[in-house]
Structure 1
């Protein structure tokens, strides 16, 4: 069945309820030494009270700049060139700054992407919440601040009110930011990437919290994200943004059933999943174009597989397609396209021969305990058992995913393998050679065979060195290539191999995007020809298209070089796509491990099931999330590794816990096929 289309100058809004927020023709300009850029160029959107509008797109497409413009928080070099922003009928762009201060934090609340940089490190969280309460006439009582912390699920809020931000975990800091945003009882809440880099359980808690408070207060929620799973879980309406423009809008169900714009379809095609294991992801090539010039045609034309001549010369207008609106030439007098189907880009990874018989890395009973010192004499008062008896094997050409919540010890395991952190006990053998206890030249030789790609490439790349020097540094220091000319040629080859150009060797790290910096970090690791690469959350802060490009690169390199990957992550979709084997960590110990297909399809440990249940499902027609009660949220918090629970460490959070779980830690149970679990009551299929 096909439906007729009608062409419009803007998305149809006749069926919408009276808008809480109405944005019309918003255009933002930022003056730079190289000219004026327009990160927001003619954005229109409407949001009703009690509704969630998700603004979706890649990094650099203008989502966050749109949010800053709505709250009039643009940098000094930025200005609103054109447009209207109406909140409940009030034009915010015409208000004097004194009046806008009452709106900002009052009628409009805002949750920023990184709570660690948004909270004042020298003020207690109670003082920061009280400051918002006083400014917006909500009182400054301690009881009000305690009530806000309790509402966002902070355990023991009366005590935690006097703590500083550094004493909270990442998820807890995000909850404090939500409490501050809610202190002024806003009509509109703007949440800018509120769950980026959070693990799946904390993400689920934050999303459930936002949904529950929204339902209780009837707030409008503008949710800015690049995560399609978050959109599927939270949104009523969706807007897709690309290069400063909104290119598609519609209801959540219609968007997930049939994304219309070629860019939207590319975002779905780039999602990793088990169905595409062994094949390349259909990631959009290139990146968002620079916005320092006018675009005569469609801004997505250079990356669009369906582009034709008109796309280069004429900017497309809006077209109405059923319940959706799309800005694309393909939808002029054309029937609705078939529902979107993801197509694999080509097979080869799963069936390719692997050197699986040869063990590269063997870890036995690895422990890393950090002493806690107190008092004037700095005596040891206890130990943080960050890693407490971990063991696994990894063969050449295979990927082992180490998964778990933040704080479970994953990163410490990775650093201990390279002896960047001294193990307290245990064995780490690389090609049969013991690494624990090695130092000097012996350890330097072993480090040629094992390299690490860190979570934050900007922090791990020297900002004072050019990219070519960064890649060559490892070859020089480890004696891989003594000849400078040969090192330069090798670095240029690596730059071309990771999708950059040899001419980029003269640039500094800050001149690259986040995805490009992560590619450079991989090139630096490859420069010394390692056999094993430890990847610590390499895709956690990347949008879906850049993540797909990076995963494609890693898969190609593994096939070509027989690399072994230890992939540390909390992204279970990436694990499902990339990993051969999975080890699940909880409070310093591996509680379940085995082939990825068995662990992810037939999990036997309750913690593994909890992680899988917390992953947002991407499907049309699924009801939005319902918020659990406060007790459920509090019970989901990770205990401290300084004082882990007696018996099975998971027993306070486990719905199946019994007396034996509270008394003794379970032994490992072999389930066959390399699948093992530490649980007194494994849930067999």
Structure 2
């Protein structure tokens, strides 16, 4: 279906001609999935853009060929290429917020593709748009088809992007981080959907991902990319049993697990070199623990080892490393530091309700209970993980905690003082002490400001550091600590990858030396090695300063590694909370068990052949009309009549472990 030979991409910049993609070759057969792995800045997304001829200004294809079904895409006139994009080639972009038109309704953006590529119009196009939204897990699709992108959560916008990409029934789907913003249950549904469509249509797929679990679940073959080059390729099973390249093995070592809790993750030091700083020898040499003199001077050639191929001097004598072994370290007990101290910030019965308006006069006809009676507390030196599906109210809790969204009811207490009637100076003190890292880094960074100024802005506004020299020094130190160089401080946000922008957002939060940080999916856009660097940084800061974290995430592996306590949220309410070890290893609520069962596992990659989708849970009900009784009962295998009539009261199973369920599993 797709044949790429020696593809080379050039970028004309003020610093000269840069080569972000250097002579890469691969092919994808009908019905096959190639997973492309690597850190942010390795050239994965640039490769995808080159295949669809969507390179940014100044970008050009400097060499190579790209054939789709035997047709040379690089020789096509632009008018013909427009029929290919969205038709024969579907593309899911990494950042839905910048890919969806903010002034067009979501349904109109889907029907636009249906009209151009499938000739559907009017009611037929609308019905197909509703069907596509339902297929990707959007609750109440007949109503949400008329919403604008800003009315969708981050995960729902990503699902809408997937619906648009599938509208043209493509033969090749380029999926650039398609599940980045999705919770584990919707991720499982979307991956099942993509696999089903692939089988039905013999669709080829180029899957760009930093999630090794997703690659293990989906890929037939794997390619590892570093600094614009492919450094390893091979079948899924062989790669996950025995990754060959030192960089590939570093990716596995950087994965957070419960066994590594309490210690640093083995992240590769430094960062991917910029295209204008690439050395003449092996591009990974300056970060490789096995590098020797030859690596600095001579680029390695490809070596074939069975079904795998690797570009590394270590294999000139065909020395195959041992297979990876699972860590056997015992999981340490959760920290009790800070548990007895007064919380920095506390929520008591927090409620956030949004009015639903209709008609010409916009009368209120209902309420969306986004947050409906939540009790949480952030203690010094502890991490509270808030998990749940997209749309359950997690982000609203974080915003209400900082009064970025006005609570409807309940109390937000900062150091024991209620913020409902607080003076402006109290709110300012709270916002210096409690910072927030937002889910979408591109939307939360000012596109007209250089990143050095973005990081420094909070220090100036909150009066943290009066000396300009000290502020500049602190900005440089923060950039270095998050894996970027101080020389990058004069660049704008659009000059960075999605993962690098997220690191900048975290540096901005750290700049004012907060006592607590609300982290809203801070690692969702990051590859495993950069994620490991940031988790190490957050852990170090917590030990040094006694910082508290509210970690809103759908990444259960990160929760296992970082969290001291876990709260599980469903349709505006906390259904289970307690120590991380207890909740994750002996979950009592059926919803918590459902979330844990949906997490993709690395051992799926050890099985040869295509993975078969498991039975997945049904979709999340609409928060506009939650089910009567226990909100989870339509999806619960243990539901009885009492579950359909009465919402369960909170019960305590043991010390600090609480849940709301009529039939808990003990």
- TM-score (norm. length: structure 2): 0.90
Tell me which of 625, 633, 640 is aligned to 1:651. 633
Structure 2 counterpart of 1:37:
18
> Aligned residue for 2:40?
59
2:98 matches 1:113? no
The alpha carbon displacement at 1:568 in A equals: 1.3
Q: 1:477 to 1:102 in 2, by over 3 A?
A: closer
- Relative to 1, partners in 2 of residues 1:45 and 1:126: Cα closer, same or farther, differing over 3 Å? same
| C-alpha distance in 1 between matches for 2:448 and 2:637 | 52
Deviation string, structure 1 residues 29-56 (Cα, Å, up to 9, x no partner): 2222321122221111121111111111
Number of residue pairs aligned between Structure 1 and Structure 2 = 660
Q: Which residue of 2 aligns with 1:672?
A: 654
Contact 1:435 1:446 in 2 (8 A): no
Asked whether the 8 Å contact 2:52–2:89 carries over to 1, the reply is yes
Q: 1:450 to 1:79 in 2, by over 3 A?
A: closer
Inter-partner Cα distance in structure 2 for 1:586 and 1:422 = 21
Aligned-residue offset at 1:463? 4.8
Displacement of 1:211: 0.2
Matched, 1:583 2:564: no
* Conserved 8 A contact 1:149-1:176: no
With over 3 angstroms needed to count, the CA separation of the structure-2 counterparts of 1:342 and 1:463, relative to structure 1, is: farther
Residue 149 and residue 51 in structure 1: after superposition, are their counterparts in 2 closer, same or farther (change >3 A)?
farther
CA distance in 1, matches of 2:131, 2:492: 46
- Which residue of the partner structure matches residue 612 of structure 2? 626
| Cα displacement string for residues 579-628 of structure 1 (whole angstroms, at most 9, x for unaligned residues) | 00000111111000001111111111121112112211112334744357
> Are the structure 2 counterparts of residues 461 and 671 from structure 1 closer, same or farther at C-alpha, using a change threshold of 3 Å?
same
The equivalent of 2:72 in structure 1 is 91
1: CA distance, partners of 2:125 / 2:463: 62
Q: Deviations over 1:398-418 (max 9, x none)?
A: 111011112211122112222
Secondary structure at 1:40's aligned position in 2? Answer: strand
Query: 1:308-319 residue pairs with structure 2 within 5 A?
Result: 308-319=292-303
For the 8 Å contact 2:140–2:622, the answer to whether it is kept is no
Report deviation, 1:515.
5.0
Matching of residue 49 in structure 1 with residue 33 in structure 2: no
Give, in angstroms, the shift of residue 104 of structure 1. Answer: 3.4
Contact 2:383 2:563 in 1 (8 A): yes
Report if the CA contact (8 A) 1:138-1:184 is conserved. no
Report the equivalent of 1:681.
Answer: 663
Closer, same or farther in 2 for the Cα pair 1:321/1:173, shift >3 Å?
Answer: same
Post-superposition shift, 1:86?
Answer: 2.4
Note closer, same or farther for the CA distance 1:504–1:21 as it changes in structure 2 (3 Å cut). Answer: closer
Tell me the residue number matched to 1:104.
85
More displaced, 272-281 or 506-515? Answer: 506-515
Distance 2:235 2:159 in 1: 28
Change (3 A) 1:30 1:255: same
- The answer for unaligned runs of 5 or more in structure 1 is 1-19
Report Cα offsets for 1:103-158 as digits up to 9, x if no partner: 43333333333444444455556655555455446665744763575367447777
Does the 8 Å CA contact 1:138/1:183 hold for their aligned counterparts?
Answer: no
For residues 325-368 of structure 1, the C-alpha deviation after alignment (integer angstroms, 9 at most, x for no partner) is: 10111111233111124779x99997988333213233221112
Report if the CA contact (8 A) 2:589-2:665 is conserved: yes
How many Å separate the matches in 2 of 1:525 and 1:165? 26
Q: Secondary structure at the match of 2:602?
A: coil
Q: Does 1:550 align with 2:534?
A: yes
Q: Is the 8 A contact 2:97 2:443 kept in 1?
A: no
- Structure 1 residues 30 and 342 mapped into 2: Cα distance closer, same or farther (>3 Å)? farther
Q: Distance in 2 between matches of 1:626 and 1:31?
A: 45
SS class of match (1:65): helix
Match of 1:245 in 2: 229
For residues 170-223 of structure 1, the C-alpha deviation after alignment (integer angstroms, 9 at most, x for no partner) is 555555544544444433222222112222222111111000011112222221
Secondary structure of residue in 2 paired with 1:656 = coil
Q: Shift in Å at residue 508 of structure 1?
A: 5.5
Residue aligned with 1:265, SS: helix
The residue aligned with 2:396 is 412
Paired residue for 2:412, among 403, 407, 428? 428
CA positional deviation for 1:396: 1.6
Counterpart in 2 of 1:4?
A: none
Q: Report 1:528-543 matches (<5 A).
A: 528-543=512-527
Q: Deviation per CA, 1:44-95: give whole Å up to 9, x if none.
A: 1121111111111122212122222222333353222221222333333233
Equivalent pair of 2:652/2:658 in contact (CA under 8 Å)? yes
Larger radius of gyration: 1
SS of 1:26's equivalent? strand
- The separation in 2 between residues aligned to 1:175 and 1:485, in whole angstroms, is 45
The two structures have a TM-score, normalised by structure 1, of 0.87
CA distance in 2, matches of 1:461, 1:595: 34
**Equivalent residue of 1:203, what SS?**
helix
Asked if residue 356 in structure 1 is aligned to residue 339 in structure 2, the reply is: yes
Distance 1:530 1:671, change over 3 A: same
Structure 2 residues not aligned, in runs of 5+: none
Mapped partners of 1:120, 1:509: distance in 2: 20
Alignment of 1:118-137 (within 5 A): 118-121=99-102, 128-129=109-110, 131-136=112-117
Question: Are the aligned partners of 1:515 and 1:550 in contact in 2 as well (CA < 8 Å)?
Answer: no
Note if contact 1:279-1:347 (Cα within 8 Å) is conserved in structure 2. Answer: no
**2:375 counterpart SS class:** strand
* 3-state DSSP of counterpart to 2:631: coil
2:216 aligns to what SS in structure 1? helix
Q: Distance in 2 between matches of 1:80 and 1:507?
A: 24
Q: CA deviation at 1:457?
A: 3.9
Question: 1:150 is matched with which residue?
Answer: 131
CA drift of 1:525 comes to: 3.7
Distance 1:643 1:148, change over 3 A: closer
CA separation in 2, counterparts of 1:157 and 1:411? Answer: 22
Q: Do the aligned partners of residues 141 and 480 (structure 1) sit closer, same or farther apart at CA in structure 2, a change above 3 Å counting?
A: closer
Separation (CA, whole Å) in 1 of partners of 2:456 and 2:330: 34
Distance in 2 (alpha carbons) for counterparts of 1:485 and 1:458: 28
In the other structure, the counterpart of 1:274 is 258
